[in-house]
Chain A
Amino acid sequence: MSGPGPPTTILSELAQRHREEVLASRLSAAASLPADQRLPDIAAFIEASALLQAARQLLPLTPPGSAAATAAVGPEAAAR
């Protein structure tokens, strides 16, 4: 979170970013198809992606898996 980490972490983040870009490009390619021309597999991919996005909003977790809400309410908890 603070400053660059070790090289392996940086490489991991780069690889992760690349995978996210690939996934986003495929999602956009899938979404660009007209709804009536989508195969069930493509529709499932789009739907699952949308649901995953909703889950990320409902229960946010940081990439390492810790709860983002902990950080969000941390100052409030500290103030209390």
Chain B
Amino acid sequence: MSGLCPLGEKQEPLWCEASEACVCKLRCAARILRPFPLIFDRRSSLHSCPCASPCSSRLGRGRLFLAILLTARADYIAPQSLLAAWDVGRRLAEHMNQLPAGSVARLLAALPDTQQPEQAPAAPLQSLLAEQEEEEEQQQHDGQQQRQRRRRHATSQPTSQAEPGVRHTPGQAESSSSQRALGALLLYSYAACADLQREAYHAVRAAARAAHMLEEPAVCAALAAQLAALESAGLELPGRQPLLTAEQLRCACWVRVAERGAQLLSKHRQPGALLITGTTRPRLSPAQQAELEAQLAHAVKSLLGLDPGSARCLMAAAGALAALGHRRQAALLHLRAFQQAAAQQSQYWQLRAAAAVAVDGCKRVSGGGGGSSSGVLPAALAVLEQANGMLSCLELVLPDSWVQRVRSDVSAGRRRVATTRAQAQLIQAFAEDRGGSAQRTGASLAPAAAASAAAGAAGQPSMRRHAAQPSGAPAASIALRKQAAARLASRAFGSEDDLAAVSTTGATLRAPATAALAPPRELDQHAG
């Protein structure tokens, strides 16, 4: 196994290929998340042994942190979801105030600024802490009440005993010490705070259940051996860890669960993809698939509730919805993601969302009702047209793995636009009874056959009947043909505006631009 990634990836070092081994890191993140229930279970059993608990909690936090980082690094989460600075805590508190764990949020909001730690009142913190403990007491079971008393006792102790990972200069006032202790509780860990621990436990356990379906036994065994080695080494984790709250953790976990689940379901429903990627995972049982779908639905709710303004969360939620078969809702989320990305000036998400909008096609978005996509679709297509320049800018300052993912999405969007444009030309040819026009598009079909082919290409078998009706009458007038073509266009594109948008924009995305948008040869080889 020397020279190989211990997590089972071939020749994929865990750390050094920070930008390139995107897939490896995704898998590693999911696998690192997996043993967390064991860690937490072990902690609860070690509560009677105070000297063993800190080491375990620090290891747990380290791994948790590592997992989040790997997840974020592979394909970044919204920047506001990862906070590395103490002084951003207040902003986070504003966000957390809207969450059910209100006591934690208020505690965090009461923390002093880094610049003026002495001016923060100690009494409110104490009362808030007591209030939080009262809330906890109401929720505790009999066995947990014992731990409550122990925690209360630990909080009244000097900081170094309450949280061994915190270092304090001697001679600090008691109030300042308690503030810092409280800050350390929130800044450093979920494990030190019961609320946060519980939140983290449930979030990670749910994520791990999903990740467990994606695992292979050999990989799990390798990871367990590695973690056992870390524990036996008594790894010390010096320094301060960035602030990561339970909600951020939950969000990150659900993002990953949603994406992984969507990916898995997509592959599961398309066996050809399994052959292409060489994946040898066994098929899911009906029970596993039902559980994964339930988690995806939960993921969508969590993502939309936690960060509704984030294009990244919207895209992940859309992926989960699409995997569940709710393509119309997914398309609407893609539209929202595109608008949010444009508003936030995020070229990365703008390109990906534009491609998703194009892949969705016009029909699913407008659904015949018209209006919803009339403004966004042309904008998305325009962004796709300008993708070449935007990608050139992005690849100067972003990792290859990120740029490559955008390129892949843009290529898929471009293909969809080309296909839609071909359909539009066939329908127009049918409407105008121009067999020659259909031939120019590369389909040497009679008008009726062209319309039927367009209907088939649009994935609408029922449209073939519509196409066949006017063509079956040899003396059908041009008006009848146009009427039938309008019906086809309506069914295929939702509205005539969408058809016009695709037709006109698609014309500029023909062969020359297609070649320009294609990924470079070396990237293709790398992807292969």
Contact = CB atoms under 8 A, between A and B. Distances in A.
B18 A73 contact: no
A48 B235 CA distance: 24
Contacts of B236: 69
Contacts of B65: 55, 58-59
Interface string B1-28: 0111111000101111111100000000
B66 A59 contact: yes
Interface stretch (B116-124, B267-275, B394-402): B394-402
A67 B402 CA distance: 28
A59 B242 CA distance: 13
A77 B394 CA distance: 48
Contacts of A66: 6, 226, 229
B16 A69 contact: no
A48 to B, nearest CB: 5
A65 B347 contact: no
A40 B349 CA distance: 10
A55 B348 contact: no
Q: Which of A39, A48, A62, A70: most chain B CB closer than 10 A?
A: A48
Contacts of B235: 59, 67, 69
A41 interface: yes
A51 B347 contact: no
A11 to B, nearest CB: 10
Contacts of A50: 84
B394 A41 contact: yes
Contacts, number: 139
B170 interface: no
B233 A69 contact: yes
B16 A65 contact: no
Given A39-B346, A59-B237, A52 B3 contact: no
Given A41-B394, A45-B398, A70-B229, A51 B15 contact: no
B66 A55 contact: yes
B62 interface: yes
Interface stretch (B69-77, B322-330, B433-441, B503-511): B69-77
Contact of A63 (B16, B20, B233, B397): B16
Contacts of B394: 41
A41 B346 contact: yes
Interface residues of B, number: 52
A5 interface: yes
A52 B69 contact: yes
Contact of A16 (B13, B78, B237): B13
Interface residues of A, number: 42
A67 B345 CA distance: 40
Nearest to B345: A39
Contact of A41 (B73, B241, B348): B348
B368 to A, nearest CB: 35
A26 B14 contact: no
B226 A65 contact: yes
A49 B69 CA distance: 9
B478 interface: no
Interface in A25-50: 26, 29-30, 33, 39-45, 47-50
Contact of B347 (A9, A39, A64, A70): A39
Q: Which of B2, B79, B396, B397: most chain A CB closer than 10 A?
A: B397
A43 B79 contact: yes
A52 B72 CA distance: 9
A62 B2 CA distance: 12
Contact of B230 (A56, A62, A69): A69
Given A22-B19, A30-B397, A48 B230 contact: no
Q: Which of B14, B15, B66: most chain A CB closer than 10 A?
A: B15
Top 9 A-B pairs, shortest CB-CB distance = A63-B13, A41-B348, A65-B14, A30-B397, A65-B6, A69-B235, A23-B19, A40-B346, A44-B76
7 contacts: A40-B348, A41-B398, A44-B76, A52-B69, A58-B66, A64-B14, A77-B233
Interface of B: 2-7, 11, 13-20, 62-63, 65-66, 69, 72-73, 76, 78-79, 82, 84, 226, 229-230, 233-239, 241-242, 344-349, 394, 396-400, 402
Given A59-B66, A73-B234, 9 more contacts: A23-B18, A26-B398, A39-B345, A47-B84, A51-B69, A55-B65, A59-B63, A63-B16, A70-B230
